[in-house]
Amino acid sequence: MGTDLQAVVNAIGDLPPMPVVAVKVLDLLQKPTTTADKLAETISSDQAVSARVLKIANSSFYSLRRQVTTLEHAIVIMGEKTLKSLVLASSLKGINKSFGLMEKMLWEDSLGCAIGSRMTALWFKSADPEEAFLAGLFRHIGKMMLNNVDAESFRRVLEGVYNGEGSEDELEAQYFPFGHAVVGEAVLDKWNFSADMTEVTRYHDNIDQIDAVEEPERYRLAATVNLADAMCRKLGIGRREPEPDLELSLTPGGRALKVEPDQAEQLLEEFRAFFEKERDTFLA
């Protein structure tokens, strides 16, 4: 687990800073004297982010009893953890150097897994729902970075996987000095996220690399994201085609969380229905 993350930075090039509004909001959340008005003022400095925050807050995702019309009201009702999730989800889109078809697919993939991870955490009480949302959101941030560094090579990786030329790990190794999981870990390390978040990003596809006995909460968070990732794959969210034959209960995350086949299907249907209904709210 001891990858030299500075070596990743040196090989990939400058990793992006955290979006400005997110930096400011996270800094304010560390200060006990920060008011809802001050947070709202900071978020409002980025009109696109503030509009997305309000739009998502009013979606069925949070099941608020009545519509919120101001950021101040949203902040008071939803609390700090949810605000953190919403601001990061609303600002992360901006780290893409461009926003064409590939970037739209990656963005759908990220938000789909974020939503699925939060729903999975609530269903199985496997993790804090907002931590799960962020872990799902970030689990492929390394892919965004590889696409920013060399979009043509990244496209070849995806096409190669699609055409059966090799696994994602194998093809990334052909075109890049590090794979997306390690690059994602380096980004979150640079952004000063917790070890739980950085390691889940690194090992979301290989959750057994996390010690379930020594780090049970981290392991369950990784399992939560792994299962949500599988739901996205099964439905084709953020992908060219779905994988309808994928058995969710047999995935590493499904096994770790002891998910029964009927539970998996019920959760999948709830996720599918929600994503179809609120897709435009989150992706706009």
Structure confidence at residue 93 (pLDDT): 84
Q: Could you report the per-residue pLDDT of 64-99, keeping only the tens digit for each?
A: 778 888 999 888 888 888 889 989 988 888 888 888
Give the domain-ending residue among 95, 121, 144. Answer: 95
Same-domain status, 83 and 141: no
CATH number at residue 103: 1.10.3210.10
7 is a domain residue: no
Tokens of 170: 């194998």
Q: Per-residue confidence at 208, pLDDT binned at 50, 70, 90?
A: very high
Average pLDDT, the chain: 91
Q: Rounded to an integer, what distance in angstroms lies between the CA atom of residue 133 and that of residue 280?
A: 18
2 is a domain residue: no
Give the domain-ending residue among 31, 64, 95. Answer: 95
Same-domain status, 112 and 78: no
Q: Rounded to an integer, what distance in angstroms lies between the CA atom of residue 240 and that of residue 252?
A: 23
Q: Per-residue confidence at 52, pLDDT binned at 50, 70, 90?
A: confident
Same-domain status, 86 and 107: no
Structure confidence at residue 263 (pLDDT): 97
Provide the percentage of residues in the chain whose pLDDT is more than 90: 67
φ and ψ at residue 70, rounded to 5 degrees? -130, 155
Provide the percentage of residues in the chain whose pLDDT is more than 70: 98
Same-domain status, 109 and 228: yes
Question: Which domain covers residue 55, as residue numbers?
Answer: 13-95
**Cβ-contact 233, 263 below 8 angstroms:** no
Same-domain status, 272 and 161: yes
**Cβ-contact 95, 19 below 8 angstroms:** yes
1 is a domain residue: no
Going by C-alpha positions, the residue among 138, 228, 150 that lies closest to residue 189 is 138
State the average pLDDT over residues 8-13.
Answer: 75
Same-domain status, 91 and 110: no
Structure confidence at residue 2 (pLDDT): 52
Q: CA-CA distances (angstroms) from residue 80 to 32, 57, 77, 85, 129?
A: 11, 13, 9, 9, 13
Same-domain status, 188 and 275: yes
284 is a domain residue: yes
79 is a domain residue: yes
Computed over its alpha carbons, how large is the radius of gyration of the chain?
18
Which region, left, alpha or beta, applies to residue 151 given φ > 0 means left and ψ of -120 to 50 means alpha?
alpha
Q: Which residue type, as a one-letter code, is found at position 33? A: T
Same-domain status, 82 and 107: no
Same-domain status, 192 and 278: yes
Structure confidence at residue 18 (pLDDT): 87
Same-domain status, 42 and 132: no
> Residue 47: CB partners within 8 Å, gap ≥ 6?
none
Q: Rounded to an integer, what distance in angstroms lies between the CA atom of residue 53 and that of residue 85?
A: 10
Structure confidence at residue 33 (pLDDT): 93
80, containing H or E segment: helix 80-91
Tokens of 40: 């709202």
Residue 70 burial (CB count, 10 A): 12
Same-domain status, 197 and 240: yes
Q: Could you report the per-residue pLDDT of 22-42, keeping only the tens digit for each?
A: 999 999 999 999 999 999 999
Q: Per-residue confidence at 125, pLDDT binned at 50, 70, 90?
A: very high
Q: Per-residue confidence at 126, pLDDT binned at 50, 70, 90?
A: very high
104, containing H or E segment: helix 101-124
**How many folded domains does the chain comprise?**
2
Give the domain-ending residue among 95, 129, 157. Answer: 95
180 is a domain residue: yes
Q: Please spell the DSSP secondary structure of 221-267, one letter per residue.
A: HHHHHHHHHHHHHHHTTTSSS--TT--GGGSHHHHHTT--HHHHHHH
Structure confidence at residue 139 (pLDDT): 96
Q: Rounded to an integer, what distance in angstroms lies between the CA atom of residue 51 and that of residue 35?
A: 20
State the average pLDDT over residues 165-178.
Answer: 94
6 is a domain residue: no
| pLDDT over threshold 50, residue 167 | yes
Q: Rounded to an integer, what distance in angstroms lies between the CA atom of residue 88 and that of residue 183?
A: 19
| pLDDT over threshold 50, residue 1 | no
20 is a domain residue: yes
Same-domain status, 82 and 137: no
